[in-house]
Structure 1
């Protein structure tokens, strides 16, 4: 059970997120930014993933941005002080202190590490050798070689569309109130939403002309 020291976010876990990260085989995992990379960890394994296709669309979306504002999830200049905790069974997200979440994640694993047989080890190596560049890009590896592939872009669209469904009139009003008081995060979230709406209208007008 998730401890009371973590704050539950008002937005549930996007159902496509674990698969996008490659973190489907664990109940709990954390998201944060470390070493110039968006990172996920389940307390035993960790990996980087795409910043532009997954991390930024998630944390900068208007449905989450203002709730994450008080927390330091890490940056190019700072180590993470906080992290997002994801529960794949109950489809919830929490935010809390990085060290406390890291300790919490360790508790979901047995203390004794299962040993890999030689056959299992060889199979793991073969799976990595057979992974294509496209598959690695989907997992966020080698992002510096270019933008995400078409399949990853489609998953990003689905992620954003799911988050869009979490937007409520109350949330918009809350953002407007915060923006009017000079809250930079709220202003940027509203500006991003406005730009998306404007671009969507332009696209629709072009389709109608054609």
Structure 2
């Protein structure tokens, strides 16, 4: 078997392949990775460090992880005590997460931020979004960010972790977020609790709350 293609090069190729379908490239990428044709750098069982350091105590209520991939962040929240839902637009990713975490209490599902199930809107006490919005072309950024916001229940919290951009750059994927773009999560009744920049690599970690 030939060496698998680079994840970065394949992401760049697929992510710019069809501007009319800016989210359509996720399933081909996951399918290629599942088949061993593309390297899989997200092959890990630990939660994102910026999430792990923020969630340092047991939690209660409902949580949802946007763009869950193989489920490491969702499993972390479930271990803390949250009733956790996790979704991804790629059916292959969701199937892989379910297989990897057989018997998990996490409810894994296929879902699209631009077309969310009505039952999810305003349903979650904690919404975690890591790297999903930045992975999609800016042409639909407003819609994706609005989709994330819509998941937050009254009194609920949104945690967004994204790469930092000092200025708008259309050379992606990914398309990291400027300060104004990360602050845009704080609309539609959500207010910023904190927007901090973490270093090496430079990341936004922003917390918002719905009043």
* Larger proportion of strand: 2
Task: Report which structure shows greater RCO (CA 8 Å, sep ≥6).
Answer: 1
When normalised by structure 2's length, the TM-score is: 0.25
* Larger proportion of helix: 1
